[in-house]
Amino acid sequence: MSDESSTHGASSAVPTQKDVARLAGVSPVTVSRTLSGGSNVAPELQVRVIEAARQLDYLPNENARGLRPGQQSNLIGVAITNLNNPFYGKFAIGVEEVAREKGRFILFGSTEESATREHELVSNFLGRRVEGLIVIPASDPAPRQWMRRLGPVPLVTAAREIEGLDTDRVLMDDAAMAQRATTDLLGRGHTRIAFLGNIDQVSAHRALCEEFRRVMGEAGVAVDPMLVRSVTDEVVDGAAQTDGFLRLPNPPTALIAATNRIAVGVLQVYGRRLDAGAAGLHLPALSMFGDLELADLLRVRVLAYSSDPREFGRTAAQTLFDRLEGRVHGPSRRLVVPLA
């Protein structure tokens, strides 16, 4: 009474080329040749092979296939830091799109900002002989042993620049974003502008913050040290620090959030205040870096400055394939994706 044909029934062993050959009455080589183009195989035999394969629901073992020298795995390894950030979800779409166009498949993992997990993931990806890697480096500053194991596998890092890491890398135009955000706020008459940075995104944070200070300085506006803070890239931390800002005797009139997640934290605090009856006008104007889909529908006006995340993913993938397909040689490249 067991349900042998059911989805999860243990049917007999997975059919191999040999099984197909036997059923078709040919040798395994003929099967291989038929299924990979069919050159030098009599049409009649091809028909028999194809029929046999269909009948057995045969599926070539890609792992065995990739074992032969000179064969590619058709695999790309992608490690991001945090799928919870919709920016990286969209980034992954962009990568996926390009990979599909190129006939590649994706090994995917999230590091959750941990260097250990990054090591685990990348090592495994390399063990599976990925043809290339796209990595958003974890903010965990531990040394990256896996870099030495890359061998000939091209690596593209994205979104963050890690000191001492000389790889092809795709970055957002942090300077332009910070410059625009700061200028826009100054233009609206703000002078007490708080900067809520991300302690994690080492390189990006520094660039954003430096540019903020530079523009402020150029405009002759002093930056209150109390108003420059860094938190981890978590909603709760953004919220906590926002509360801190609002409790200051002389709170800021505008606030720049370095990331998507942090901005959501800010907005949650704003939401609570509004629900408690606060007037929107008394809350600091909010600008942010990153992607916030409904930004223009919020009860609070939010200005978002960002590259298009999907385009960002596409660029990262294109950069990888430039190497893979030999269009680019030589020293590593540093690409900056312009603002959307």
Partner DNA sequence: GTGAAAGCGCTAACAA
Partner DNA sequence: TTGTTAGCGCTTTCAC
Written as six digits, the tokens of 272 are 């609570």
Nearer to a copy of itself, 4 or 44 (CB): 4
Nearer to DNA, 30 or 139 (CB): 30
Distance CA 262, CA 236 (A): 8
Q: Is 251 a residue that touches DNA (CB under 7 A)?
A: no
Total number of residues that touch DNA (CB under 7 A): 29
* Eight-class DSSP state of 14: P
Q: Is 236 a residue that touches DNA (CB under 7 A)?
A: no
C-alpha 214: how far from chain center: 29
Q: Is 219 a residue that touches DNA (CB under 7 A)?
A: no
Distance of closest approach, residue 223 Cβ to a copy of itself, in angstroms: 28
Q: Which of 11, 55, 61, 116 binds DNA (CB under 7 A)?
A: 61
Distance of closest approach, residue 250 Cβ to a copy of itself, in angstroms: 26
Q: Is 29 a residue that touches DNA (CB under 7 A)?
A: yes
Amino acid at 15: P
Written as six digits, the tokens of 16 are 């191999």
Element spanning 274, H or E: helix 260-275
Distance of closest approach, residue 216 Cβ to a copy of itself, in angstroms: 28
String of contacts with DNA for each residue 268-307, x by CB under 7 A: ----------------------------------------
C-alpha 10: how far from chain center: 37
Q: Which residues lie closer than 8 Å to 118 by C-beta, 6 or more apart? A: 79, 111, 135, 137, 138, 140, 144, 146
Q: Which of 9, 69, 326, 330 binds DNA (CB under 7 A)?
A: 69
Q: Is 68 a residue that touches DNA (CB under 7 A)?
A: yes
Q: Choose from DNA, a copy of itself, none: what does 83 bind? Cβ within 5-8 Å by kind.
A: a copy of itself
Distance of closest approach, residue 128 Cβ to a copy of itself, in angstroms: 5
Pairing of strands 155-158, 168-172: parallel
Q: Which of 22, 50, 56, 60 binds DNA (CB under 7 A)?
A: 60
Using the CB atoms, write b or e for 21-58: b if 16+ within 10 Å. bbbbebeeebbbbbbeeeeebeeebbebbbebbeebeb
Q: Is 64 a residue that touches DNA (CB under 7 A)?
A: yes
